[in-house]
Chain A
């Protein structure tokens, strides 16, 4: 059984249908990606899972229905979203941002251990722990956003365009980190415009186009697929 099971997800803003009824699932320990062009409905799908936008769907997480629940409750069940544009709390320090990630946790020794882990994953954050998050560079903010999400010890990590607006070197660093998190057994749903990157790192992929899933399958197969190559890999 899948950890996350999404059936018939529709998201609309006013009269505009951003997502038109899609199905997808993520199994425990899998790294699945959702790729597609700008405006295909990828971010809206993630927001729909967390109840951040007006959506209709049947979503099950670990067998329990979560569609219709408020965002903070869904987050409390163990789904952590790293939002598009990072969404760090600019006027909180790096340390306080990470503390916010562990907002719902009460196991102080565990929080300390995870904090050390995040700091060893991103030594740059440790150096800047008393600095306001708004003073960090884009790449550092992305590290902070991922670190903050890990602080909740999520059962499912959703990443929305982690490469957006970053220098190539930083993109590589972020993707190496995502790969290592996945290696440790984390379950990840990755949304990415950069199909090449996402397909290389993931096991399975869904291709979205104008609010619909048009293609899905194992990522290595999709890389070879001529349709995907033509549409998204620039060949």
Chain B
């Protein structure tokens, strides 16, 4: 089996998920210059809600096709996450809009911890497994394998990104978002209701996070109240790699980070003579984050560099 191609495929799948979560970080940063550390937890809640719905449906109607059951889970998770993201902004961040930047940042970490603990109370400490109800076809290309689920994740992720791109570039709301990201003051002078645009940003980012949450739990076959932490940090690293605040950058950074991680995990054993194994794969995201912060803090596509916090 060709390791390189195989890891490239795995990286593409991982990257598709990272990119979706990274978009949430970058959109909020673009408008509020706030790193919304609770975003990883919103993704986790998306996975948990979807799994609860899937569990309920399987119990009530076991003969329903697996794809429909998962789809129902996603369709409930999306509005649930949107509501959560909307509430987080309104309750936790909006009152601090004019506060020094460190205050909302610490608040974001606080919200993240609260959500983890709420999830632990609701869904428990143990891993929740994703039932094997999706088609499990495997295809071989040039000696590497790709599953139906992997194809589906990549295609869905690309379509979500394309839709977001159209929304941001072509619609009135998208133009208002871009204007607000550049200057809230001047956008308001144009008649833009800045609070509404900020709410819309959280709604959109959280909807995308819900999709990513279901993807990641379906891919690994499980969900856990703590899964949002590492996923969020990696997605944040991806957003920084692409240039935080830049939407195309988050997409590129997510994809690249997935590949780096997969290839790194695939070759780290050979490179270290077997001293380090593929379970070190999490190291790569942060290695990349450090390299970017040292050598190109504005990221691959970013123009601005944050001055602090």
Tell me the A167-214 residues at the B interface (CB within 8 Å): none
Number of interface residues of A (CB under 8 A): 23
Tell me the B169-193 residues at the A interface (CB within 8 Å): 172, 175-176, 178-179, 182-183, 185-193
With A72-B194, A103-B172 as given contacts, are A80 and B179 in contact (CB-CB < 8 Å)? Answer: no
Q: Does A76 contact B (CB under 8 A)?
A: yes
Complex CA distance for A91 and B169, rounded to whole angstroms: 12
| Set of chain A residues within 8 Å of B192, measured between Cβ atoms | 72, 100, 103
With A72-B194, A89-B183, A103-B172 as given contacts, are A83 and B178 in contact (CB-CB < 8 Å)? Answer: no
Residue-wise, chain B 149-186 has the 8 Å CB interface mask toward A (1 for contact) of: 00000000000000000000000100110110011011
Q: Does A218 contact B (CB under 8 A)?
A: no
Find the B residue at minimum CB distance from A151: B190
| Set of chain A residues within 8 Å of B303, measured between Cβ atoms | 91
Complex CA distance for A103 and B179, rounded to whole angstroms: 11
Find the A residue at minimum CB distance from B304: A91
A138 to chain B minimum Cβ distance, whole angstroms, is 17
B50 to chain A minimum Cβ distance, whole angstroms, is 36
B33 to chain A minimum Cβ distance, whole angstroms, is 15
| Set of chain A residues within 8 Å of B189, measured between Cβ atoms | 50, 52, 71-72, 75, 80-81, 83, 87
B176 touches A92 (CB 8 A): no
Residue-wise, chain A 48-84 has the 8 Å CB interface mask toward B (1 for contact) of: 0010100000000000000000111001100011010
B172 to chain A minimum Cβ distance, whole angstroms, is 7
| Set of chain B residues within 8 Å of A80, measured between Cβ atoms | 189
Number of interface residues of B (CB under 8 A): 18
B190 touches A101 (CB 8 A): yes
Residue in B172, B186, B193 whose CB lies within 8 Å of A87: B186
Residue-wise, chain B 9-32 has the 8 Å CB interface mask toward A (1 for contact) of: 000000000000000000000000
Residue in B172, B182, B193, B194 whose CB lies within 8 Å of A91: B182
B24 to chain A minimum Cβ distance, whole angstroms, is 21
Q: Which one of A87, A101, A104, A148 has the greatest number of beta carbons of chain B within 10 Å?
A: A87
| Set of chain B residues within 8 Å of A152, measured between Cβ atoms | 190-191
A103 touches B182 (CB 8 A): no
| Set of chain B residues within 8 Å of A101, measured between Cβ atoms | 190
A204 to chain B minimum Cβ distance, whole angstroms, is 25
Q: Does A99 contact B (CB under 8 A)?
A: yes
A36 to chain B minimum Cβ distance, whole angstroms, is 23
Q: Which one of A71, A75, A83 has the greatest number of beta carbons of chain B within 10 Å?
A: A71
B189 to chain A minimum Cβ distance, whole angstroms, is 5
With A52-B185, A83-B185 as given contacts, are A91 and B178 in contact (CB-CB < 8 Å)? Answer: yes
A92 touches B179 (CB 8 A): yes
Chain A residues with CB under 8 Å of chain B are 50, 52, 70-72, 75-76, 80-81, 83, 87, 89-92, 96, 99-101, 103-104, 148, 152
Known: A72-B194, A91-B178. 12 other contacts (CB 8 A): A72-B191, A80-B189, A87-B186, A90-B182, A91-B182, A91-B303, A92-B175, A92-B182, A100-B176, A100-B187, A103-B172, A103-B175
